[in-house]
Amino acid sequence: MHKINVIGLGYIGLPIASLLATKGYDVLGIDISDKVVNTINAGGVHIVEPDLDILVKSAVQSKKLRASKKIEPADIHIIAVPTPFKAGYQPDLEYVETATRTLCSVLKAGDLVILESTSPVGTTENVYQIILNNVPAIANAIFVAHSPERVIPGKVLQELIQNDRVIGGINPASTEKAVDFYRTFVNGEVIPTNARIAEMCKLAENAFRDVNIAYANELSLICHDMDINVWELIQLANRHPRVNILQPGPGVGGHCIAVDPWFIVHAVPHYAKLIYQARKVNDSKPEWVINQVVEMASQFENPVITCLGATFKADIDDLRESPALSIIHRLQEKNIGEILTVEPHVDRLDSVTLVDLPSAMNRSDIIVLLVDHQCFKKMDSQLFQNKYVLDTKGVLKINAAVQKLRHATTVVTSPIIEHHQT
């Protein structure tokens, strides 16, 4: 079996490394964090993902998976490091470039280098150029390809195997070698193309989703001004056989949808006008939520405001680019009252006061639902009595609460739909 290096042991790298180890490969995971390396070598995990702890423990115990801060020679090298953006939404490729230079020290003829990190078009070619600059004698014998992950947090292990994969090499030989590798563990279709199309494919997928979310968020603002229940409107509109409007929310988070469209905008700003505007709509939604909370807080002298959820989506611990966390921090800066946060999937958040749900509901004057965790969806409508409620996801049992408590409760959904106050 081939030896594999996985550079970067985050939300993508660790699942890939542990999955490949259970498939019989000898896998070395490389990370710059002592904590991450020590945790994995002890058979533990530093991120929350269903069944990942079991997989990692099994892989480590079988001695098929190790973690280290130092790279070693291998046959296949998978780069799975972050690709954030810098000021002005410019792509930051420092992690990819550093990882590539690091692996150059152990490359040998015949090795396969795979970039899994979602990247701007041309990044895979840049990876090869770094290899060419550092090890020119063997560069022509190195295979380089890109295979963007297509997984969703909460289902990463399942989707790594079941989802179709797009594989694009810098040349046909690289594509073929990478395709052969992925077919050893992917049940979905493995589809060959070239590196630039593979890179753009992932960006186009996430930009498509971002544009559709922006439509829903913009529609929610329109309905707010027109005194229309946006949730009922979307439900009815979606009964059309060719309409599928998504659900609005407090913004867009995560490392993919909130970041990837900017790679397209940065590359071709003169054409990417719709993609740009969608990003602006989604980035502006947290500010709208904040303004609604500030308005509600003005009804109190020193209100207790509880934010339900801080992660970027439901039932995970991932805080990357989370609009909920951004809203919480901004509300704290506003100094409009005491800000509490209930986040069942995170044990600690710097500068954020985490409390349990019962305590929060007992103390709060204002409830702001930001993430539709399952535990919040099951809340009894009686808990909202005598409180202002801002439901940015439309999942609380607000309607029932309004019917029973209309003389005691102000209910505000996102957008503001109903006011019941005497």
| pLDDT over 50 (residue 45) | yes
pLDDT of residue 126: 98
Peptide bond into 248 cis (omega under 30): no
Q: Is 64 a catalytic residue?
A: no
Please tell me the distance from the alpha carbon of residue 110 to that of residue 142, in angstroms, as a whole number.
Answer: 5
pLDDT of residue 290: 97
pLDDT in tens, 313-358: 998 888 988 999 999 999 999 999 999 999 999 988 989 999 999 9
pLDDT of residue 153: 83
**Phi/psi-derived region of residue 7, left when phi > 0, alpha when psi is between -120 and 50, beta in every other case:** beta
DSSP string, 228-269: --HHHHHHHHTTSTT-------S---STTTTTHHHHHHHH-T
Q: Is 307 a catalytic residue?
A: no
| pLDDT over 90 (residue 22) | yes
User: Position of tokens 């905008």?
Assistant: 265
Mean pLDDT calculated for residue range 240-269: 94
Instruction: Please give the distance of CA 296 from its chain centroid, rounded to a whole number.
Output: 30
Residue 364 DSSP label: -
pLDDT of residue 407: 31
E strand or H helix at 360, and its extent? helix 357-363
Which of the four pLDDT bands, split at 50, 70 and 90, describes residue 87? Answer: confident
| pLDDT over 50 (residue 246) | yes
E strand or H helix at 339, and its extent? strand 338-342
Mean pLDDT calculated for residue range 126-142: 98
| pLDDT over 50 (residue 388) | yes
User: Model-level pTM?
Assistant: 0.89
> Which of 380, 383, 378, 352 lies closest to 367 in space, CA to CA?
383
Please tell me the distance from the alpha carbon of residue 224 to that of residue 218, in angstroms, as a whole number.
Answer: 10
Mean pLDDT calculated for residue range 71-95: 94
Contact between residue 281 and residue 217 where contact means Cβ atoms under 8 Å apart: yes
Bridge partner list, 146: 115, 168
Mean residue pLDDT across the chain: 92
pLDDT of residue 85: 87
Residues 6+ apart with CB under 8 A from 362: none
Among 201, 256, 387, 393, which one carries the catalytic annotation?
256
- Arch. (CATH architecture) of 249-413: 3-Layer(aba) Sandwich (3.40)
* Burial profile 239-252: b = 16 or more Cβ within 10 angstroms, e = fewer: eeeeeebebbbbbb
pLDDT of residue 383: 83
pLDDT in tens, 296-308: 999 999 999 999 9
Lowest mean pLDDT among 125-129, 398-402, 414-418: 414-418
> Which of 378, 373, 376, 398 lies closest to 387 in space, CA to CA?
398
Contact between residue 15 and residue 157 where contact means Cβ atoms under 8 Å apart: yes
pLDDT of residue 420: 36
Comparison of pLDDT for 83 and 398, the residue scoring more: 83
pLDDT of residue 267: 96
pLDDT of residue 410: 40
Which sign, positive or negative, has the C-alpha torsion 308, 312, 315, 316?
negative
pLDDT of residue 342: 97
For the chain, residues classed under CATH 3.40.50.720 are: 3-202, 249-413
Pick the CATH number of 3-202 from 3.40.50.720, 3.30.499.10, 3.40.640.10, 3.30.559.10: 3.40.50.720
Neighbours of 420 (CB within 10 A): 15
Lowest mean pLDDT among 186-195, 197-206, 390-399: 390-399
What count of Cα atoms within 13 Å lies in the side-chain half-sphere of residue 408? 10
Which of the four pLDDT bands, split at 50, 70 and 90, describes residue 398? Answer: low
pLDDT of residue 58: 96
Q: What angle do CA 335, 341, 343 make, to 5 degrees?
A: 155
Q: Coil, strand, or helix at residue 138? A: coil
User: Position of tokens 């999955």?
Assistant: 19
Contact between residue 78 and residue 7 where contact means Cβ atoms under 8 Å apart: yes
Among 177, 202, 387, 393, which one carries the catalytic annotation?
202
Sheet containing strand 388-391, edge to edge, reads: 338-342, 304-308, 366-369, 388-391, 410-413
Which sign, positive or negative, has the C-alpha torsion 55, 57, 58, 59?
positive
Q: Are strands 338-342 and 366-369 parallel, antiparallel or unpaired?
A: unpaired
